[in-house]
């Protein structure tokens, strides 16, 4: 099985990195693919450019083998749709795909492009995130609920699973706010990423 962890990563922080590593171990994955979004369709523009966000991811991951950076959305024209990304991955591998979504992202899922068809190509695993209350589940989701992790391996796609992970109340929004006001975000994200932000004068008002 392969894990897919998409995001704007504006910037990447330990909330993302710790989650990805824990999920890799919990689901005994080959690896987790971190996929930066080029042009998000469901939110306002990013503060850093796609190339800068990719570079920060590279600095954060270093030579950690468990996490793979996948820049496919940056190589495509137009909006970055998760459905397209999963379909492209599906064409290249027979492995089961697990799409990881934080609870805030999952609450928005029904607004995503071809969201129902995402379940034709992958399982969706929702990870807990501090300060986010899950919306109540509609019929579409309820009938896909899986409470036994081993079933994810048995079926190739279509399941919905909820996974608790270590709660880290870190968000990119808060980090951008700290950088803008000159308050140090140290220990919320890797030093190499902070150095890059400072060097390129990102997230200044």
Label the pairing between strands 97-102 and 123-127: parallel
CA 195 – CA 205 distance, rounded (Å): 18
Binders of ligand ATP among 1-30, rule CB under 6 A? Answer: 7-10, 15-16, 19
DSSP state of 133: P
* Least distance from ligand ATP to the Cβ atom of residue 129, Å: 4
185 binds ligand ATP (CB under 6 A): no
Distance in Å, CB of 34 to ligand ATP, minimum = 9
Sign of the alpha-carbon torsion through 40, 44, 48, 49? positive
Q: Does 67 bind ligand ATP (CB under 6 A)?
A: no
172 near ligand ATP, rule: CB under 6 A:
yes
Closer to ligand ATP by CB, 107 or 156: give it.
107
Using a 10 angstrom Cβ sphere, with 0-12 exposed, 13-18 middle and 19 or more buried, the burial of residue 94 is exposed
Encode 63-72: b = buried (16+ Cβ within 10 Å), e = exposed.
eeeebbebbb
Letters for 108-127 (x = contact with ligand ATP by CB under 6 A, - = none) are -------------------x
Which residues make up the interface to ligand ATP (CB under 6 A)? 7-10, 15-16, 19, 101-102, 104-105, 127, 129, 168, 170-173
């Amino acid at each position: 099985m392969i894990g897919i962890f998409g995001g704007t990563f504006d910037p990447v922080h330990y909330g993302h990195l710790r989650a990805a590593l824990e999920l890799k171990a919990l689901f005994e994955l080959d690896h987790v693919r971190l996929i930066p979004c080029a042009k998000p369709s469901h939110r306002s523009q990013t503060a850093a450019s796609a190339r800068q966000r990719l570079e920060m991811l590279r600095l954060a991951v270093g030579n950690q083998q468990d996490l793979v950076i996948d820049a496919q959305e940056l190589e495509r024209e137009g909006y970055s749709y998760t459905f397209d990304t999963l379909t492209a991955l599906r064409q290249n591998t027979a492995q089961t795909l697990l799409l990881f979504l934080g609870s805030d992202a999952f609450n928005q899922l029904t607004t995503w492009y071809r969201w129902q068809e995402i379940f034709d190509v992958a399982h969706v695993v929702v990870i807990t995130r501090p300060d986010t209350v899950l919306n109540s589940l509609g019929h579409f989701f309820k009938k896909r609920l899986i409470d036994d992790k081993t079933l994810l391996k048995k079926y190739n796609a279509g399941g919905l699973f909820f996974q608790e992970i270590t709660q880290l109340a870190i968000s990119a929004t808060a980090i951008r706010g700290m950088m803008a006001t000159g308050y140090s975000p140290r220990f919320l994200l890797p030093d190499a990423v902070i150095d890059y932000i400072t060097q390129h004068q990102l997230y200044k008002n």
